[in-house]
Amino acid sequence: MTNPNNATISTVHTAEFTSGHALQIPTLRILQDDGTIYPGAVAPELDKETALKMYHSMSFIRVLDERMLAAQRQGRISFYMQCLGEEAATVGSAAALDDKDMIMAQYREQGALRYRGFSLEQFMNQLFSNEKDLGKGRQMPVHYGSKDIYYMTISSPLGTQIPQAAGYAYAQKLRGLANVTICYFGEGAASEGDFHAGLNMAAVHKAPVLFFCRNNGYAISTPANEQFKGDGIACRAVGYGMKAIRVDGADILAVYQATKMAREYALETNEPVLLESIAYRLGAHSSSDDPSGYRSKEEEEQWRKNDPISRFRLWLLAKGWLDDEADKAQIEALRAEILDALKVAEKVAKPGIEHLISDVYAEPIPELERQLAELKAHIRKYPDAYPITSGRMS
């Protein structure tokens, strides 16, 4: 008999509910807070060079976040978002990928960008929206993107990258590429309709995409228990016929192993995987947010003990791969380097206004040229309202 309903029919003769919490997904943990491996756990195979690259990428982002939030408070940049407490989730997952796997991020994955090789200068140029910015000054700060390192430009609307990732991964499969797409988003974005459409599309069309949910407890000010009733996000994969794995997002070894396993499965089967990182957003949602209005200092301090960088650092020290004094000196040098780069980038001129339309099409169409001319006329009429732009018009 055919099965047009695509549903398993296991007959019963007495009505009964299936519990909404019938499925509970375990959380993978390998690295303990003291830097030792859990009894019975096996650390993934990592060479010294890769492990140190992961550590230095996390350390770089921690210092960059610290410095650039201060710069925003000083009025030097308009906006900033930290990934404080989630460095292991983004760096560990990026380290498990191939360099040509596409990354589609939300807005807290600068660790993955750094691991791919985004330079300090490139970070600064984007944050200051100057004429060296790869996005030509058309994006908010932290909305990074780089074609050269397969990092799709970030957009502000939540969840739009999820169906896009399904489509991109499907194209990778059709082209016969030995690559996957990884799509990052928060548990708040998993409440968007794009989440359900994207996952269903990927599952039905067998697209090799890794959906990586960073469940950090809050969608801006909305706690997870006010966002959804189910057991986190990973359990939703079952509803789409997908594989799922949940991981301690502050444990970089666990994140690396889970992502590596998920990537191998996606390539072998051309099927998607949903990964859920359980961590905590130690900082505010953004520089525009005050978390004291919705969570306590005691809660934050409790989670601060679960610092992903400290945990990995202890593991590296125990293996003899990291020198304590040299590492501390390197962090101090990095602080000075970032401050120097900031001072340079903020003095670089802003992009010319013609870049608003320069690559919407291969050649600007007449309608865009007309609109640009009207904009220039408006700015010339009110130059005091546009002090920077009015001095950069040709």
Query: Which residues does the annotation mark as catalytic?
Result: 281, 285, 294
Listed in sequence order, the DSSP H helices in the chain are: 48-73, 87-95, 110-116, 120-127, 161-174, 193-204, 236-239, 252-269, 297-304, 308-319, 324-345, 366-381, 387-390
Query: Is 91 within 8 Å of 57 (Cβ atoms)?
Result: yes
Tell me which DSSP letter residue 19 carries: P
DSSP secondary structure, 291-311, as one string? GGGTS-HHHHHHHHTT-HHHH
DSSP string of 202-248?
HHHTT--EEEEEEE-SEETTEEGGGT-SSSTTTTHHHHTT-EEEEEE
Residue 339 Cα distances to 65, 67, 350, angstroms: 12, 7, 20
Look at strands 218-219 and 222-223 and give their pairing.
Answer: antiparallel
Bridge partners, residue 275, by sequence: 212, 245
Q: How far is CA 288 from CA 62, 72, 134, 180, 353, in A?
A: 19, 10, 25, 34, 27
Q: Mark 101-112 as b/e (b = at least 16 C-beta within 10 Å).
A: bbbbbbbbbbbb
Contact between 272 and 66 (Cβ < 8 Å): no
Give me 61's structure tokens: 């982002």
- If one counts every other C-beta atom within 10 angstroms of the C-beta of residue 289, the result is 16
Are 118 and 146 within 8 A, CB to CB?
yes
